[in-house]
A = this chain, B = another copy of it.
Amino acid sequence: MYSFRNDYSEGAHPKVLQALTETNLEQTRGYGLDPRCQKAADLIRTLCAAPEADVHFLMGGTQTNLLVIEALLKPYQAVIAAHTGHINVHETGAIEGTGRKVIAIPSPDGKVTPAMVESVPELHSDEHQVVPAMVYVSNTTEIGTVYSKAELEALRTCCDKHGLLLFLDGARLGSAMACGDITLPDLAALTDAFYIGGTKNGALFGEALIFSKPREDFRWYMKRRGGMLAKGRLLGVQFQALLEDDTFLNSARHANRLAIRLREGISALGYPMPVTSPSNQQFPILPNETVKQLQTMGYEFEIDRAVDPGHTQIRLVTSWATPEDAVEKFLQNLSACAK
């Protein structure tokens, strides 16, 4: 059986592990001031066609989100996010923990649109209200949807019009890039900050944060929140291993392909999948009985929500590590369940 619970259920892509092993006894300075990190940062700047970009390596998504928002916003400024946004619902108030407010707006598909941004009442407020100063988006979103380049361009235009920064959470950026039309140079050009998620696409851990302009004091923010890894070079080594060839994108393509295979197989069995996700998270609606049968067989996955008294929406996630036959076997087993 198999766990489709998440894309961080296993360790690292073998190439990453190999790089860590090969460099293990090298001596370097700590805290990311080593040649490995510098090389990885240079590589990212090249891949982004952004020679001025400021690159930092962090250990996880929540840490990255809170640090970017704390560093870019003043205390009374706020960040606009979809109601389903990770910073709004799955970070235990980490953004508020820095003193900043998240302005949550309802979103049917997990994405933020210019119209949604412009609906925020605080956009033209006085000193009795927070000042919206940033739009936060995730790509892929928390429900697997993906921004097109045109959508991001429209958001950028909207942000410019209202003096807002645009920050893109790329915890699952590999999956988004593998199925969408957005490139790293697009992201560097359209956002003020974004990150390339390693944790969910082959690294042991790590997020590569890119500021489009230099942020001279970001390392002080990092250290102050405990976000500076002593053996920082571990992050440089991993990102170099992932990005110096096609490992990063190929890993995401593999995950997406198996997710689409799941989607098609489940749909073919007649189960509804109302969330239109082209990426590595899929949300089928199954009878409660079927959910239990799958769990009894040993399958693991997240329960997303109760749809009605008899049906549950579950979440299936694939990754670089998901074996092809785990997917096929799952479809066979699902097919065998009483409908």
A114, CB-defined interface residue at 8 Å: no
Q: Confirm or deny: A234 has a beta carbon within 8 angstroms of a beta carbon on chain B.
A: yes
Looking across the interface, which residue of chain B has its beta carbon closest to that of A94?
A: B224
Contact indicator B100/A93 (Cβ below 8 Å): yes
Contact B11 A30 (CB under 8 A): no
Residue of B nearest to A5 (CB): B29
Closest to A218 in B: B127
Give the contacting residue for A78; candidates B93, B225, B321; CB below 8 A.
Answer: B93
A85 to chain B: closest CB distance in Å? 13
Tell me whether B5 and A229 are in contact (CB under 8 A).
Answer: no
Contact between B224 and A225 (Cβ–Cβ < 8 Å)?
A: no
CB <8 Å contact, A74 and B217 = yes
Which residue on chain B has the smallest CB distance to residue A219?
B127
B92 close to A96 (CB less than 8 A): no
**Partner among B10, B27, B121, B223 whose Cβ is within 8 Å of the Cβ of A92:** B223
B-contacting residues, A18-32, CB 8 Å:
20-21, 23-31
Kindly provide the distance from the CB of A205 to the nearest chain B CB, expressed in whole angstroms: 6
Asked whether, in the complex, the Cβ of B205 is within 8 Å of the Cβ of A230, the reply is yes
Can you list 11 pairs linking A and B with CB atoms under 8 Å apart? A27-B300, A59-B226, A59-B229, A76-B93, A92-B129, A92-B223, A96-B96, A96-B101, A104-B104, A199-B230, A205-B229
Stretch among A62-70, A148-156, A255-263, A274-282 lining the B interface: A62-70
B220 & A131 in contact (Cβ 8 Å cutoff): yes
Whole-angstrom distance from the CB of A334 to the nearest CB of chain B? 19
In the assembly, how many copies of this chain are there?
4
Residues of chain B within 8 A (CB-CB) of A220 are 74, 76, 92, 127, 131
Taken residue by residue from 198 to 235, chain A's Cβ proximity to chain B (1 for < 8 Å, 0 otherwise) reads as: 01100011000000000001011111111111110010
**Is A97 part of the binding interface, using a Cβ–Cβ cutoff of 8 Å?**
yes
| Contact A217–B11 (Cβ < 8 Å) | no
Which 5 residue pairs are nearest across A and B when measured between Cβ atoms? A63-B226, A11-B24, A76-B220, A127-B219, A93-B101
List B contacts of A97 (CB < 8 A). Answer: 75, 99, 224-225
Check if B321 sits within 8 Å of A217, measured CB to CB. Answer: no
Does A339 reach chain B (CB closer than 8 Å)?
Answer: no
Tell whether A8 is near chain B: CB-to-CB under 8 Å: yes
B residues less than 8 Å from A96 (CB atoms): 96, 99-101, 130
Report the nearest B residue to A100, measured CB to CB.
Answer: B96
Give Cα A154–Cα B30 distance, bound, in whole angstroms: 36
Contact status of A26 and B11, CB under 8 A, knowing A60-B229, A76-B220, A93-B130:
yes
What's the least CB distance linking A200 to chain B, in Å?
A: 8
A144 to chain B minimum Cβ distance, whole angstroms, is: 18
A177 to B63 alpha-carbon distance, docked (Å) = 32
Q: Could you say which residues of chain B place their CB within 8 Å of the CB of A94? A: 223-226
- Whether A6 is near chain B, meaning CB under 8 Å from some CB there, is yes
- Given A96-B100, A130-B93, are A9 and B30 also a contact pair (CB < 8 Å)? yes
On chain B, the residues within 8 Å of A89 by CB distance are 121-122, 129
How close is A159's CB to chain B, nearest CB, in angstroms? 20
Would you call A3 and B27 a contact (CB within 8 A)?
yes
Residues of chain B contacted by A92 (CB below 8 angstroms): 76, 127-130, 220, 223-224
Kindly state the separation between the CA atoms of A39 and B219 in the bound complex, as whole angstroms.
35
